[in-house]
Structure 1
Amino acid sequence: MHALPTQPGVRVNLAELIEMRHRVREVQLFSTPARRSPLIGLHHSKLRGRGVDFDQVRVYQAGDDVRTIDWRVTARTQEPHTKLFHEERERPIYLLVEQSQRLFFGSGLVFKSVLAAQAASLIGWAALGNNDRIGGLVFGDHEQHEIKPRRSKQSLLQLLNRLAQANQALHTELQPRRDDLGLALRRAREVLRPGSLVVLLCDERTLNDSSEQQLQLLARHTDLLLLPLSDPLDHALPAAGLLRFAEHGAELELDTYDDGLRQAYRALGEARRARWQRLAQKLSVPLLPLSTQGEMVEQLRNHLNVQQPRKQS
C-alpha cells in the first residue's frame, strides 16, 4: 500500500496506530494485579462460556465442592481427593471497527474515521498487553477485512494495517451501503465462540432496527463494549444562514436561522443518543460514546472513572 501523505486528524497511517501502544498506560482498560479496571466485569465474567484448565489434585478439604472429587484417585489412595482448576487466562477480543464514508467527516479535533481507528488501536494494544487473543473485522461501504483472534503481536499488526488501509481509502465519492453494520454483526455471530468480548466502534447514526436485533442476539453468547462515535454537528446545527448540501447528484438546502428546524435536528440527535442508552441498559453492557470534540484517551478515562464503584465510607 502506498500511504497517502498524513493529514493530521483527517487520515491515519499504520505508524500512528503502532505508536498508540505508548498511551495504553494512560487509561486502565483491563485489570492488573495492582489495579482493578471498571470494566473488570467484562474481562472476568462468571465463566460464561469461558474455559477452565485442570491444575492439580490434592487431598479433599472441608468446604471443597463435592462435585470436583476425583473418584479414581480417592479409590486408589483410600482418601478423598479433589480436582483443582484455574480459569482460562486469555479470551478472544474482537474489534468491530467501522471505516465508512459516513465516518469521513469531523468538525472537531479529528474525523470520526480517525477517532475509530485510534480507539481500536489503543484497545488492541491493551488487550495484547493483557495476554488476550486479539482480532477483529474492519468493515466499510463495500468491503470487510477480518483477522482471526490470536495471541500475537503479528495478528494485531495485521488488523491495524487493514484498518490503516481502509482509512486511507476513504473519500467523499463513496456510495454508502445501507446495512454494513448488520452484515458485520452477522459475521461476528458466525465466527465467535461464547465468552468472547466484542468491542464495537461505529457511527452513532448507524444503529437501526436490524443492527439492534443483531446486537441483542450477539449479546446472548458474548460480552459487548459499545463505543458509538459522533461529531458535534450530528447533534446541533449552527445558526449559519442558508446552507446547501450536494451528494451524488442530489441537493439539499437548509435555512439554519429557522429555530424550528434547529430544534427538530437537535431532537433527532438526542433520540439517537437515547436509543444507544436504552440498548446498553437492556443488554447490561458498558456504553462509552466518543466525540470528535474531545481527546480520545481523556474521554475513555472520564468514562471509566464515572463507572468505578463508589468507595464505602
Structure 2
Amino acid sequence: MPSSSTHIATPGIQVSLNELIEMRHRARELQLFSTNAKHSPLAGLHHSKLRGRGVDFDQVRVYQPGDDVRTIDWRVTARSQVPHTKVFHEERERPIYILVEQSRRLFFGSSLMFKSVLAAHAASLIGWAVLGHNDRIGGLVFGNNQQHEIKPRRSKQSLLQLLNRLARANQTLHSELQVAGDDFSLALRRAREVLRPGSLAIVLCDERALSDSAEQQLTLLARHTDLLLLPLSDPLDHDLPAAGLLRFSQGDAQLELDTHSSDLRQAYRQTADARRARWKLLAQKLGTPLMPLTTQSPPLEQIREHLQALRPRKSR
C-alpha cells in the first residue's frame, strides 16, 4: 500500500496518514454502536430488520410444520426422500460504507480547521469505531472528478487503505481548481451499485452538495440501505461578516461583494437557512439521523453530542 505518512501536513489545513491512524485512540470514546441495544443511539440502524439478502446460510434440517415452504432444499429432499429446509441466521457483521468528500470546495475554513480536514477526521473516527465493533468497513473518497473505492471487509488493512486514500486526496487539494462536476451524485450512484441490502452508508459531504440529483440518489439509496448523514459547514457558509468590500476570483471570473449591505447579508443568511432546512426535511423524509458538523470544534465532541441527543430517553 502506498504510504503518505511521510507528508508533513499543516495542522488544520491538511492531514497525514499518521494523523488519521493516531485517531484510533480517540475513537474508543465514540460509542457509535453499543452491545446493549437499549443504550445504543444507532441501535435502530444497526439492528434494523434485515432487508433482502441480509442473512447467511446456516444449515439444512428436517422440515417442520410452520417452516416457510420457499426454504425447502429440494436436492436434499429428493436424495433423502424426507422434506428438508434451509436454515438461515442473521449475519453478525454488516457492511458499513463511508462516503467522504475531498473536493476543492472543502478546502476552506475560518475556524479551527478546514472543512476537508473536518471530513477526514470524522471519517477516521467513525472508521475506527466501526472496526472496533467488528463490522465490515469500506468506503469511497470522492471529489474533483475522482473516486477512490475500498470494498467493505472486516479488516484493519481495509480501513488503512481507505485512510491512505483519504490522506492522499486531502494533500492534493492545494492544486489548481478543476472543473466542478456533480461528484456527490456520482458517488451516491456508485454506492447504490455496490451496496447490498442491509448495509449502512455514512455520508460526509459539503453542506452545499445537496443538489436535486443528489437528493434523488439519496432517496433511492435509502430504499435498501440505512443512512447516516453528516453535512459539513463553516460559520462563513451561514453568515457574512460586515467586512466591507470583498473580492473573489475563480479563474478569469471575479466577484465583488459589499458586505456592509444588510440586505446582502440577510439574503446570504436566508440562503444558508434554506440549505440547512432542506437537509433536515430530507432526513425526516428518509427517517435517517442527521448529524451536521462545523469547523468550529473537533468532530469527536460534535458527534458525541449528536449521539447523546439521539440516545433513547429513559421512561419514567
Size of the alignment, in residue pairs? 306
Deviates more, 1:246-255 or 1:195-204: 246-255
TM-score, with normalisation over the residues of structure 2? 0.89
Which residue number corresponds to residue 122 of structure 2? 119
In the TM superposition, what whole-angstrom CA distance separates every residue of 1:172-205 from its partner, at most 9, and x where no partner exists?
6312422011111111111111111111100000
Which residue number corresponds to residue 193 of structure 2? 190
Which residue number corresponds to residue 235 of structure 2? 232
Closer/same/farther in 2, CA of residues 35 and 130 from structure 1, 3 Å limit: farther
Question: 1:51 is matched with which residue: 55, 59, 80?
Answer: 55
Q: Distance in 1 between matches of 2:62 and 2:113?
A: 57
Pair 1:291-2:291 in alignment: no
For the residue of structure 2 that corresponds to 1:16, the secondary structure is: helix
Identity %: 68
TM-superposed CA distance for 1:34, in Å, is 8.5
- Unpaired segments of 5 or more residues in structure 1? none
Deviates more, 1:128-137 or 1:32-41: 32-41
Q: Which amino acid aligns with 1:21?
A: R
Which residue number corresponds to residue 89 of structure 1? 92
TM-superposed CA distance for 1:53, in Å, is 4.2
2:112–2:296 contact (8 Å) kept in structure 1? yes
TM-superposed CA distance for 1:59, in Å, is 12
**Counterparts in 2 of 1:12-51, with a 5 A limit?**
12-33=15-36, 36-49=39-52, 50-51=54-55
Provide the aligned C-alpha RMSD in A: 2.5
Which residue number corresponds to residue 102 of structure 1? 105
In the TM superposition, what whole-angstrom CA distance separates every residue of 1:86-125 from its partner, at most 9, and x where no partner exists?
4210011111110000000001111000010111111111
1:105–1:113 contact (8 Å) kept in structure 2? yes
TM-superposed CA distance for 1:207, in Å, is 0.6
Which residue number corresponds to residue 282 of structure 1? 285
Question: 1:161 is matched with which residue: 158, 164, 172?
Answer: 164
For the residue of structure 1 that corresponds to 2:137, the secondary structure is: strand
2:15–2:117 contact (8 Å) kept in structure 1? yes
1:52–1:87 contact (8 Å) kept in structure 2? yes
Q: Distance in 1 between matches of 2:59 and 2:126?
A: 30
